[in-house]
Amino acid sequence: MLFSTQDGSRPIFRAEDTWRFLAEKGRRFYKRKPSSSSSASSKPSFLRCIVRGGCGKGVTEMTEAMEKEMKEAFGDSMTLRDTVKPVLIPCYDLRTSAPLVFSRADALESESYNFRMWEVCRATWAEPGRFEPMEMLSVNGSTVCVGVDGGLAMSNPTAVAITHILHNKQEFPFVRGVEDLIVLSLGCGTTAAATLPETSRGRLDYHKIRQWGTKEWVRPIARIASDGAADLVDHAVALAFGQCGSANYIRVQANGPSMNRCGADVDSDPSSANVKALEEMAEEMLKQKNVESVLFGGRRVSEQTNMEMLDFIAGELVLEHQRRSCRIAPTVAFKQAAAKPKGRGFLKQSFLVHSAVKRYCQLLWFMFGSLEYL
């Protein structure tokens, strides 16, 4: 939403617009009343939803509501090529049983990898059990994808973004390695704990967990696996940056029991109480000490807070912008969409125009005996 454009120069949304979009439209997307219990017995298994292709009328209604809002926001003609910056959007393709990353660079290379923007957003947002999978075609109709939530297989896409930059020498010709990058990774919080039951005193309800069966364990297992995969990517990226990691790679993640206040439906509850809890959790997260992964040293609590680290990144971006303004050669050379080839209709029209002009010249020749009057 922050990179899509209509005129090729300015994005159609600002950061404030995206927040308002989610806050105002969320009630239409998530119509189910969130359960106060953390048990998954009253909710359909998300794996079952993938296999059966849906979870009832409620999922269909929410899917239709989201598709309507996506089409109104992006229109039907805006594609991955209509972005002002390089963009990577992950999802999981059920047809190939593999992660899929929608890329602006790939879309500019071939129409076979160019998809409509509203469909891309719809696919990466298609959380199984809440929204239906998104079957989509590329602009030229040659590539088919059945996409579901990108967080299933790529809860932390930092490594994918770094790999894309290091291998995209056409757009990033001066990037030699990770030492030339500044990476800010924003986590979505450790949500696994929010799916576990608690007692009235706020402690883990161990006796209730002992009675859980397969159905109750589905959501906690999925979120535990997602959190573990995100942490693994964090460690791998920290190892890749090595000694320059503390200055060139920053990971901001909500830690501690703050996530438990929002409940199991923290990311899908549109109620004002949950929104308020999320705002309070965000403020608390910014005040927390930053936690960084150390080369073969586990994790280390930094002396700076997450807010101070964000201020540091902002300052580095300002300095980099000033340095780039003094350079002769551009640091980043974004690909531009190639001119569309002229089809048969245009050639036929050109032939007819040429024939008409030729006949007109012949008529003048017969009337005046020469073409000097032209």
Give me the active site residues, please.
149
β pairing state of 183-186 and 144-148? unpaired
Q: Do the Cβ atoms of 237 and 159 come closer than 8 Å?
A: yes
Residue type, 32: R
- Alpha carbon distance 345, 20 (integer Å): 44
Please give the single-letter amino acid code of residue 302.
Answer: S
> Rounded CA gap, 308 and 252, in Å?
11
Cα 247 to Cα 238: distance, rounded to the nearest angstrom: 11
Distance CA 260, CA 191 (A): 8
Closest CA to 247 of 182, 341, 190: 182
DSSP letters for 204-273: B-HHHHHT--HHHHHHHHHHHHHHHHHHHHHHHHHHHHGGGHHHHEEEE---SGGGGGG-TTTTT--SHH
Q: Token pair of 229, please?
A: 């995969």
Q: Are strands 249-252 and 183-186 parallel, antiparallel or unpaired?
A: parallel
Identify the CA nearest to 336 among candidates 165, 7, 81, 10. 81
145: helix, coil or strand? strand
Cβ density class 29-52: b for 16+ within 10 Å, e for less: bbebebeeebbbeebbbbeebbee
